[in-house]
Amino acid sequence: MSPGSKKIFKAGMENKHYPAPLASHEDAVNNPSVFWDTLRRFHFVMGTKFMIPVIGGKELDLQVLYVETTSRGGYDKVVAEKKWREVGSVFCFSATTTSASFVLKKHYLSLLYHYEQVHFFKIQGPVSAPAVAFPLSSSPSKTELAIVEYSPKPTRDCPDPSTESSSSFSANGTIEGKFDCGYLVSVQLGSEVLHGVLYHPDQQGLSKPTQYDGAIVPYTPGRRRRRRRRGRRSGDPSYPKPNRSGYNFFFAEKHYKLKSLYPNREREFTKMIGQSWSSLSAEERMVYQNIGLKDKERYRRELKEYKDKLKLRQEAMEVEPNIKAQDVRD
């Protein structure tokens, strides 16, 4: 067992033994119901925590992850041949989802690795460990640590040349996460633990604050505020309801049906409906597009009526003061 993999297993896991397969590998691959049922039962028998991860706001399909990984030879082979990016391409993650390969590898190791050993490799006996858990560096004995060089600026007004060369030092830090431009790290200096971002040196166009010359830039996580959408109808309830496209009508119809069939899988509805729309023939799609055209005509008609009423109301308001002024003179 490598040092990097020791942290993956809870205390007492080394004394556990694998149970007998709950189903064949072929059944788990071809039948989603068999896969999910046996996976939940497997974690219950092993006494391990089971959860469905969420990536980019969508639940991760563990069956697809299992099928794609085992079709490439299993976890150890995918790690050795560095094919996690290839596995991740199947999920079509959004551009905002960074370090997808790292996250997939992490979730596979905690949720599917032992299931793979029993059902794909048909291993019996004591629980086995992966050859390499998280190979973040070339040295196998330091897979969880990174050497970070940090050169703080002196706080004095006039730098002293005699002591300037001794201002840099090395410290041991832990990589907490990875993204496209670098790593999220924590460094312990004495009794103080610093959290920051370690950027790749070859990344261009990164703006770094002038008060931090070293590799670590303090990072403070915070909540992202969502912009509140305001439509015209919020100010005027009589404003006509905007028209919807043919796809919007198709989406609403399918969403209603899927919600009754799969009440606990709403995160997957958008993808499922998009695939159904793509599989429609030109004639079937034209039905919904005609509905969208009729709704567009309805919106134009109601908008014209709304503008006419608004114009008459404004004219009435302009005439009313003149009538009152005439009454006063009379």
At 101 the pLDDT is: 84
Residue type present at position 278: S
Pick the range with the lowest mean pLDDT from 46-50, 63-67, 145-149, 292-296: 145-149
- Residue pLDDT, tens place only, 198-214: 776 554 444 444 444 44
- Cα 5 to the center of its chain, rounded Å: 25
Which residues sit opposite 171 in a β-bridge?
148
- Residue pLDDT, tens place only, 214-232: 444 454 555 666 666 655 5
- Residue pLDDT, tens place only, 40-88: 999 998 888 888 888 877 888 999 999 999 999 999 999 999 998 899 8
Q: By three-state DSSP, how is residue 5 classified?
A: helix
Q: Which of 112, 60, 33 is nearest to 271 (CA)?
A: 60
Pull the structure tokens for residue 147: 């050497």
For the cut 50, the answer to whether the pLDDT of residue 302 exceeds it is yes
Q: By three-state DSSP, how is residue 195 classified?
A: strand
- Whether the CB-CB separation of 114 and 76 falls below 8 Å is answered with no
Determine the average pLDDT of the residues in 260-268. 84
Determine the average pLDDT of the residues in 263-281. 87
Instruction: Provide the pairing of β-strand 169-179 with 182-189.
Output: antiparallel
Check residues 289 and 192 and name the one with the higher pLDDT: 289
Q: Mean pLDDT for the chain? A: 76
Q: By three-state DSSP, how is residue 60 classified?
A: coil
For the full predicted model, state whether its pTM sits above 0.75.
no
Q: By three-state DSSP, how is residue 183 classified?
A: strand
User: How many angstroms separate the CA atoms of 265 and 54, rounded?
Assistant: 12
- Residue pLDDT, tens place only, 151-181: 444 444 444 544 444 444 566 777 777 766 6
- Whether the CB-CB separation of 206 and 199 falls below 8 Å is answered with yes
Residues for the chain: how many in total?
330
